[in-house]
Amino acid sequence: MNCQRATEALASLANNQPAFSADEIEELLARELAIEADPRDMATLQWLVPAVQDHAECAIGDPEAPLKLSTKLDEITEQLKSDWYRFTTGTDKIALREQERHTLRRALAVLADKVELPRLVQIMADGQANRDPKYAACAALGSELYAITQRGARVRRELELRLTRFAVQPLDVFLKAFDKTERKMEAFSGDIATLAGSIGFVKKNPHQVVIGLAKTGAPPAEAIGLYRKSMHTTGAPDVAVTYARNAAAHGGPEQVAQRLKQAQRALRDAGFPMTPVVMGAAKTLLPFDHPETGAARFTAIAQLLESQNLTRGEPTIKCTARLMPAAGAPQDVVRRAILAYNQLPDRMDRDTHTSSAVALASMVQSDDAIPPIVQRFLEIQQELVSRRVSLSNLSAADALECVACPGTPAEVVSTVRQLIGKLAHNRESHRGDIAIAVAFAKRFAY
């Protein structure tokens, strides 16, 4: 079955109007995209499940269910054998007791069936795993009932977004990519949980610390070790993350600390006041062999930003830091920032307008790349809001993180949503999950 046909078959299942051939449903069943049930089994479960729950207070697969039902059956049988009970009890209640006895005998017979019971238990397990699936018969195949699984629903959703690329490919080609991505997301969410549970108390935006440590590329235990070692030195989580992220490139946290001090001095000597923002921006000088060279580039970019009336004061420092690693001379990167600024909509507030333009300019290497990246940014931003991933006031920052993620805007946002679900792991998602998901979505594109 190719992906186009698989999409159609899964859509028919999702809409409770199954339409496929015997070979196609066998393929969907084998790949856990669909489940099946005999209508007779479903009819049995309709009376068996409540009977066992009412009289044994357990599930049909509970090993103690037969004993509990037998005990209840013995009690009812003894009652019905009692002349006194029959003399003092109304006929309606006696009839009810006799019906209960009949039901218990039927239930015990089913629970004793070594073939039927496992099949019924599996149907119940399928129902729990797939959130009460809606079964329906396929007219071409008879009375057997079929339903889409949760996995099938996920595959259908992701495949529909990518059908242009996968339509004529065999279903297995897509499933290989899909399953690989799900495994990677599971592993990643586990690493994030480890990091989040190991950083200790962070007063403000702990997820940013987690993001920084995840970006070190080191295993969680190693990243946490670097972070804790750095915290002993600095006591500031953001600085400790800087040490950890640059440790591998510069020989360790101590060497990073020394280079960062040199970078801060270079900015001070260039005339920048040693405010917290400037001291934080000094990390952009770390890649330079000589901090003075980095400070000269920093100064040139900052002066150009202010001379072009793009920024003033503290925002200048933040925007300069964003443009420092961009390709090209200071005048080139600032020119691209102006081009991006002029193409962004005026409805943005001034700070968001400028920071977005600067960020987009830092991502490209030529002027002619500005129009398409601005358009992509706006489309992703709109998709994030319409899919209720990002709040309007945070959508620009989230979209900037997603611009480099391959795929259409709809694919990108679907990947973000999928990753948020893995990070939240059966709890309500929060802002930290969203920030992490947009920061790392590009790792999971396919």
DSSP assignment of 205-247: -HHHHHHHHHTT-S-HHHHHHHHHHHHHHH--HHHHHHHHHHH
Q: What's the pTM value of the predicted model, to 2 decimals?
A: 0.86
Which residues fall within 8 angstroms of residue 130, CB to CB, at 6 or more apart?
35, 147, 148, 149, 150
Q: Quick one: pLDDT at residue 281?
A: 98
Confidence band for 236, pLDDT divided at 50, 70 and 90: very high
- Nearest to residue 149, comparing CAs of 174, 127, 122? 127
End-to-end CA distance of the chain: 20
pLDDT > 90? residue 22: yes
The mean of the pLDDT values for the chain is 96
CA separation for the pair 42, 259 (Å, rounded): 70
Query: Six-digit token pair at 251?
Result: 């020989």
Region 428-432: mean pLDDT is 95
pLDDT > 90? residue 338: yes
- Nearest to residue 305, comparing CAs of 362, 367, 344? 362
User: pLDDT tens across 295-334, in order?
Assistant: 999 999 999 999 999 999 999 999 999 999 999 999 999 9
CA separation for the pair 263, 246 (Å, rounded): 14
Percent of the chain with pLDDT over 90: 97
Contact 273, 288 (CB under 8 A): no
Region 185-198: mean pLDDT is 97
User: pLDDT tens across 103-145, in order?
Assistant: 999 999 999 999 999 999 999 999 999 988 999 999 999 999 9
User: pLDDT tens across 369-406, in order?
Assistant: 999 999 999 999 999 999 999 999 999 999 999 999 99
Q: Which of 80-94, 286-300, 431-445 has the lowest average pLDDT?
A: 80-94
Helix axes 370-386, 330-343, angle to 10 degrees: 50
Rg (CA), the chain: 31
Give the phi and the psi of residue 253 in degrees, each rounded to 5: -60, -35
DSSP state of 404: T
Contact 315, 359 (CB under 8 A): no
pLDDT > 90? residue 413: yes
Report H helices in 235-311.
237-250, 253-269, 276-281, 291-307
CA separation for the pair 178, 168 (Å, rounded): 16
Contact 362, 339 (CB under 8 A): no
Region 97-105: mean pLDDT is 96
User: pLDDT tens across 212-234, in order?
Assistant: 999 999 999 999 999 999 999 89
| Residues present in the chain in total | 446
Residue 191 burial (CB count, 10 A): 16
